[in-house]
């Protein structure tokens, strides 16, 4: 068949790109889940442990108290955002066939996630309807953008920014695009095309997926970085708290220089965790 080999090779590359793309989606989604769970569980533990230690320590330095309060406030914000995302996720009922991007059928939407996974991705990534990464926004704007992202609001408004290939094309709306072999080869649109046209279209879609794969690699790296940093500072807080509880006096005025240094390091870890708790990837 004329150009049959060309078509077959193009479709083979497209299927391989789709497989790689979906594998990367799963990796990034899993990383976002792990990060969300670490942030949530470790914060509960740290806040309780630090509060307990403050209550036993006389004349604690103001910087220690301020750092603790700041971290607690960040966690309050974190919980508020999660609560809003949970409510939005429950009421969205997003259609899994409504969205398209880059000419590729977006057969799977955010609704394909379990609610906790959707919240993890929405709280870690996102793109506003303008195409601006949520991480570049702040405060209410960031929260509203994340909610719109989860609810499909930006796609409903046209989705230009998200579909254009800005940060996380893969996760901003279409997730794990359903362009499998059956959909490609068996679809009536493809059947009507000539071999050369099919090869050309498949090559275009492969390029789109490869751009998404590159973005997902960046996302995976950033999530891993945030995980490592968070784990480091969580470990530092626990280690220093245990050390101070076991060896330091209950009155800060009686601390020696080493114990003061340990408390200073503890403050630094808590401050770093405050900065990381609501930080978006990308």
Environment class of residue 195 by beta-carbon count within 10 Å: exposed (0-12), middle (13-18) or buried (19+)? Answer: middle
Q: Please say if the pLDDT value at position 59 is more than 60.
A: yes
Phi/psi for 59 (5° steps) reads 55, 40
> Residue 233's closest CA among 274, 192, 196, 202?
274
Answer whether residue 4 is part of any domain: no
CA 15 to CA 178: how far, in whole Å?
11
Phi/psi for 100 (5° steps) reads -135, 155
Q: What is the largest CA-CA distance in the chain?
A: 88
> Residue 264's closest CA among 252, 276, 274, 280?
252
CA 218 to CA 27: how far, in whole Å?
12
Residue 105's pLDDT band (cuts 50, 70, 90): very low
Answer whether residue 1 is part of any domain: no
* pTM confidence score: 0.72
pLDDT tens by residue, 200-234: 888 888 887 787 778 778 888 999 999 999 999 99
CA 118 to CA 91: how far, in whole Å?
13
Contact 128, 134 (CB under 8 A): yes
Answer whether residue 224 is part of any domain: yes
Answer whether residue 153 is part of any domain: yes
Distance between alpha carbon 140 and the CA centroid of its chain, in Å?
18
CA 42 to CA 27: how far, in whole Å?
22
Lowest mean pLDDT among 172-176, 212-216, 244-248, 257-261: 172-176
Answer whether residue 5 is part of any domain: no
Answer whether residue 6 is part of any domain: no
Answer whether residue 181 is part of any domain: yes
Q: Could you tell me which residue, 102 or 42, shows the higher pLDDT?
A: 42
pLDDT tens by residue, 245-257: 999 999 999 999 9
Please tell me the total count of domains within the chain. 1
Answer whether residue 2 is part of any domain: no
Residue 154, CA distances (Å) to 30, 88, 160, 252 in order = 24, 14, 8, 52
Which residue range is the domain that position 116 belongs to? 15-277
CA 17 to CA 228: how far, in whole Å?
29
In this structure, the number of other CB atoms found within 10 A of the CB of residue 277 comes to 18
pLDDT at 211: 79
pLDDT at 196: 83
């Amino acid at each position: 068949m004329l150009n049959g080999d060309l078509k077959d090779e193009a479709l083979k590359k497209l299927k391989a790109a789709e497989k790689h793309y979906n594998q990367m989606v799963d990796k990034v989604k899993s990383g976002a889940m792990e990060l969300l769970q670490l942030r949530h569980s470790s914060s509960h533990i740290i806040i309780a442990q630090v509060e307990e230690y403050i209550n036993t320590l006389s004349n604690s330095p103001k910087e220690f108290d301020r750092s603790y309060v700041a971290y607690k406030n960040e966690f309050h914000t974190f919980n508020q955002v999660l609560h809003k995302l949970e409510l939005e996720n429950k009421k969205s009922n997003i259609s899994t066939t409504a969205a398209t991007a880059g000419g590729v059928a977006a057969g799977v939407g955010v609704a394909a996630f379990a609610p906790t996974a959707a919240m993890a991705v929405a709280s870690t990534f996102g793109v506003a309807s303008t195409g601006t990464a949520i991480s570049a926004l702040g405060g209410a704007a960031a929260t509203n953008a994340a909610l719109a992202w989860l609810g499909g609001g930006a796609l409903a408004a046209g989705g230009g920014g998200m579909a254009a290939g800005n940060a996380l094309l893969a996760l901003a709306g279409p997730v794990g695009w359903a362009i499998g072999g059956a959909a490609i080869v068996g679809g009536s649109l493809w059947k009507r095309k000539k071999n050369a046209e099919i090869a050309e279209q498949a090559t275009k879609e492969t390029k789109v997926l490869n751009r998404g794969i590159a973005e997902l690699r960046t996302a995976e790296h950033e999530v891993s970085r945030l995980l490592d940093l968070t784990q480091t500072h969580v470990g530092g807080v626990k280690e220093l708290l245990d050390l101070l509880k076991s060896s330091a006096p209950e009155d800060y005025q009686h601390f020696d220089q080493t114990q003061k240094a340990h408390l200073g390091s503890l403050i630094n870890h808590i401050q770093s965790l405050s900065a990381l708790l609501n930080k978006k990837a990308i």
